[in-house]
Amino acid sequence: MVWWAKALKNLISSQENERLDLFRIFPALRRFLAGRLHYALLRTANDVFFVLILLSGFFGPDDPHRNVIVFLCWGLLWPGIVLSWFFIGRMWCGLCPFPGLGIFLQKKGLTFSWKIPHSLKKYGVHVSVFFFALIIWAEIVAGLEHWPLGTAWLTMAIVMGSAIMAVFFPGQAWCCYLCPLGRISGAAATLSITEFRPDHEKCRGCETFACKRGKDGIEGCPVYIGAVGAQNNLHCLVCGHCLSLCHRDSPQLLIRNPYSELIRNKGRYITCSYIVPFLIGSQLARFFRGEEVYGRIMTFLDVSDTVTFSLLLVLFFLGTIGMIRLGARMFGITEDPIFGKFSPMVPILIPMAFTGELVYRMAFFAEGIGDLIPTFGRQFSIPFLEYLSFSIPDFPIQVMSALFMLNGTIAGCYILWRFCLEDFEGMISLGGFIGINLLICLLMICYILVIF
């Protein structure tokens, strides 16, 4: 069977045998990721790009129509990261420039390398999700997507957080436990069509575990798992660091059905359980803020935009929590004697949650891309670039948004269907099955109403 046919079979099949390893089909891809010089060059390029963003934000014009930083961050970089989740998982995290300063300090010996405390491992997810919620809230109420200086300060805050963690702990502790962007990227990576996994047959008998611990002066996995410990897409950065350390050629980059991990883990990831309801609630609130009725509500309540949006954010968040609990009651099973407690509605809603984020970022991209070149011209006094302005009509973006949300809805129904046919066959009532499908469709209708 030709490789592309096998790849297509892996994408649509619910079976996980005869997986296609992209490292075997494209050896150059493996060599590229294993080559630390390539990695260093990419990291350096990203570091330079972020330095330019900081300089433009701190010292450039504060008018978003005369400073390209806001659109580069919120209109190009962030939508690009969101889109990458569906294809390469957390690979962006492997190239992210945020930990650059911390890595530099560690290489200079400016680190205590303390053992990671248990409290950080246990409560880090709560802190990182809080940070993520704070960023989403600040993005709207402070207008960060239209505020160059605010965007620069946010970037600097994350860089400094990572650097401080690097001074106290080895590796990239910030990325592993506290980074809000890494946490949402890990949750979204559960939807990726690729996964970085070891070949356990080749790992068997290994005594060095160099992929995790390092060897010959080369540090091990920056997030402490190594190829041998990569069991899901939540934590692995797909940085390729372990490729040059493993002498057994174990690491693989596999094509898979994008819903296989969600079906297999059934909502046991605590990260997803926290992020999904907030993400859906925040998206509905952000979309609703653009509606005409939002202004009437703000006038009726006689409060500021900040207070109105905050109230809506809490309202939609609680509504999503209520829907998840109602769906779990309809499902009828929330604990298994083998793998313990789980939240069945979380994996069912994950496709809609992250598709909704893609739709939101895509709308912002479409709104501002036509003014990117003229904005560059205004910032650097190149007047003729003003003539290169263009606009993208709303209607095709709305149609694409509706199609994407429909795809997320179908994916949620598919996951529920797989639950009913496989692990929970005969355990879910017909009424519960129909009720959960109606809940999924109701959520899609809510999205469509606020999008249009």
> Is the torsion defined by CA of 56, 62, 67, 68 positive or negative?
positive
If we measure between CA atoms, which residue out of 4, 7, 14, 9 comes closest to residue 422? 14
Q: Is it the case that residue 34 has pLDDT exceeding 70?
A: yes
Partners of 338 in beta bridges = none
Q: Please report how many Cα atoms fall inside a 13 Å half-sphere around the Cα of residue 306, on the Cβ side.
A: 5
Q: What percent of the chain has pLDDT over 90?
A: 74
Mean pLDDT across the chain, nearest whole number? 91
- Residue given tokens 């989740």 in the structure block: 85
Question: What pLDDT was estimated at residue 336?
Answer: 77
Q: Is the pTM of this model over 0.85?
A: yes
Q: What is the token pair recorded at 418? A: 């797989």
Ramachandran angles phi, psi of 274, nearest 5°: -85, -40
Which letter, b or e, does each residue of 68-96 get, where b requires 16 or more Cβ atoms within 10 Å of its Cβ? bbbbbbbbbbbbebbebbbebbbbbbbeb
Tell me the C-alpha distance between 333 and 387, whole Å: 61
If we measure between CA atoms, which residue out of 77, 67, 81 comes closest to residue 149? 67
CB contact at 8 A, 423 and 332: no
Longest dimension (CA), the chain: 69
Q: Which residues contact 237 (CB under 8 A, 6 or more apart)?
A: 90, 91, 93, 94, 175, 222, 223
Give the mean pLDDT of 287-299. 92
Q: Is it the case that residue 14 has pLDDT exceeding 80?
A: no
Q: What is the token pair recorded at 111? A: 């680190």
Which letter, b or e, does each residue of 256-293 get, where b requires 16 or more Cβ atoms within 10 Å of its Cβ? bbbbbbbbbbbbbbebbbbbbbbbbbbbbbbbbbeeee
Predicted confidence band of residue 1 (pLDDT cuts 50, 70, 90): low
Tell me the C-alpha distance between 452 and 288, whole Å: 10
Give the mean pLDDT of 75-103. 92
Domain boundaries, the chain: 8-258, 262-451
pLDDT in tens, 344-377: 999 999 999 999 999 999 999 999 999 999 999 9
pLDDT in tens, 298-350: 999 999 999 999 999 999 999 999 999 999 999 998 887 777 788 999 999 99
Give the mean pLDDT of 373-392. 94
**Rounded to the nearest 10 degrees, how much is the dihedral formed by the CA atoms of 298, 299, 300, 305?**
20
Q: Is it the case that residue 150 has pLDDT exceeding 90?
A: yes
